Amino acid sequence: MSLPALVAEEFVEGNFLGLPEDGESPDIVVLQVPYELTTSYGQGTALGPSACIEASGQVELFDPILGEDLPAGYKIKTIEPWDGEGGNLRKQLDGISNYLAPWFDGDKFPVILGGEHGILPSIIHAAGNHPLLNGDFSKLTVVQIDAHADLRQELNGEPFSHACAASRAMDFGLKHLYQAGIRAFSKHEYDRIQSDNDITTFFASEIQKTSNSSWGSWIETLSSIEGPVHLTIDIDGLDGSLVPATGTPVPGGLSFWQIVETIQEIFSASKATVISMDVNEIVPQKDTPLTQFTAAMIATKGIIHHINNRRNGNWIDASENDNGQHNYVFDKNYFQKL
Ligand SMILES: [Mn+2]
């Protein structure tokens, strides 16, 4: 273990938070998926992850929750970005899964920076590799922050559009999907939310209203979640004023502190284990780094709470606990065969 006071002084360009790393058995891995194929009318999500990493250099390393500077005795490693290879969309989705899957080994915490939200099915497929799932997706809960429900069956004929990210995630047979901040959706999506017992949605209109807000109910719901959880944060779930450069900014979204509180609640849910998180739809803002800096701060909050959980024993090192039960055979060509 290196001395925190020593490492904090050395800034390494290209690493998340500028932290140096020794490369050996990291606790947290920051992965970059510069993927952009189906974004509606924004451009630049492919440049989002690197912009977020650059902006993270301005994030404070100190947070009172840990009481000392990051990495607070833990190892955070920034991984080379996904190479973007693949002749078509489905090969790319497989490529992303293959890039991510080795890090879902049970003792590392993957923090994935995107890239458009269309990467979510690839993340879920990769999460199947986690020993707590061992290929059983019915154990996995997904918590989604988003402006859009992402529950379309297809957009412009493409079922893997970013507008279908949650639908394609549900196709894996998830335990449950919890959504918050939703304020842009079609009638089809609204009807599905009303009728599908596996989906619970907290609309922004209900969360954000000034009287009888459902915010407390959202927080209560998070604290009751059990089992492995993937947290997916589409930054357009935040109010558009905080993330104006994202592909499809929408007014009326969550405040920064509501995202922080959401992260805090899901990580401290006593029966849940957050196995991974992603922050997606990051687009570099040119005049001010606000959008990418907001994304970097959110990813950092997740890392802080993950470290806090390791310290408090609220983290299962599944790589040691599975006793050889990890027999799931990860399919490297999954999406190509669909
Ligand atoms: Mn989304």
Condensed to tens digits (0 to 9), the pLDDT of residues 30-41 reads: 999 999 875 555
Bridge partners for 29 per DSSP: 77, 110
293: phi then psi, degrees, rounded to nearest 5: -70, -40
CA of 176 to the centre of ligand 1 (A): 17
Residue 71's pLDDT band, with cuts at 50, 70 and 90, is very high
Q: Does the pLDDT at position 324 exceed 50?
A: yes
Q: Is residue 336 part of a domain?
A: no
Q: Is residue 19 part of a domain?
A: no
H and E: helices and strands count for the chain: 11, 10
CA of 225 to the centre of ligand 1 (A): 21
Q: Is residue 231 part of a domain?
A: yes
CA of 220 to the centre of ligand 1 (A): 23
CATH code, domain with 215: 3.40.800.10
Query: 45 or 146: which carries more pLDDT confidence?
Result: 146
Percent of the chain with pLDDT over 70: 94
Average pLDDT score over the chain? 93
CA of 199 to the centre of ligand 1 (A): 15
CA of 147 to the centre of ligand 1 (A): 7
CA of 181 to the centre of ligand 1 (A): 11
CA of 179 to the centre of ligand 1 (A): 10
296: closest CA among 74, 113, 144, 143? Answer: 113
Q: Does the pLDDT at position 335 exceed 80?
A: yes
CA of 69 to the centre of ligand 1 (A): 32
Q: Is residue 326 part of a domain?
A: no
Q: What pLDDT was estimated at residue 316?
A: 84
CA of 74 to the centre of ligand 1 (A): 31
CA of 274 to the centre of ligand 1 (A): 19
Q: Is residue 156 part of a domain?
A: yes
Q: What pLDDT was estimated at residue 7?
A: 47
Q: What pLDDT was estimated at residue 37?
A: 76
pLDDT tens per residue, range 109-161:
999 999 999 999 999 999 999 999 999 999 999 999 999 999 999 999 999 99
Residue 201 near residue 219, CB atoms below 8 Å: no
CA of 232 to the centre of ligand 1 (A): 9
Residue 119, classified by CB atoms within 10 Å of its CB into exposed (0-12), middle (13-18) or buried (19+), is buried
Number of domains in the chain: 1
User: Please, which residues have CB within 8 angstroms of residue 38's CB and are 6 or more apart in sequence?
Assistant: 89, 116, 118, 155, 158, 160, 161, 162, 163
Q: Which two tokens stand for residue 42?
A: 């924004």
Bridge partners for 178 per DSSP: 143, 200
pTM for this structure?
A: 0.95
The pairing of beta strand 68-69 with beta strand 62-63: antiparallel
List the single range of 25-34, 145-154, 317-326 with lowest mean pLDDT.
317-326
Q: Does the pLDDT at position 69 exceed 60?
A: yes
Residue numbers of the domain that contains 270: 27-318
Residue 23's pLDDT band, with cuts at 50, 70 and 90, is confident
CA of 48 to the centre of ligand 1 (A): 15
CA of 281 to the centre of ligand 1 (A): 7
Q: What pLDDT was estimated at residue 300?
A: 98
Q: Is residue 20 part of a domain?
A: no
Q: Is residue 197 part of a domain?
A: yes
CA of 116 to the centre of ligand 1 (A): 8
Which residues, chain by chain, have CB under 5 Å from ion ligand 1?
117, 146, 148, 150, 234
pLDDT tens per residue, range 164-201:
999 999 999 999 999 999 999 999 999 999 999 999 99
239: closest CA among 294, 296, 162, 161? Answer: 294
Q: Does the pLDDT at position 94 exceed 90?
A: yes
Q: Which two tokens stand for residue 177?
A: 């999907």
Q: Is residue 338 part of a domain?
A: no
Residue 197 near residue 170, CB atoms below 8 Å: no
List the single range of 38-47, 98-107, 221-230, 257-266 with lowest mean pLDDT.
38-47
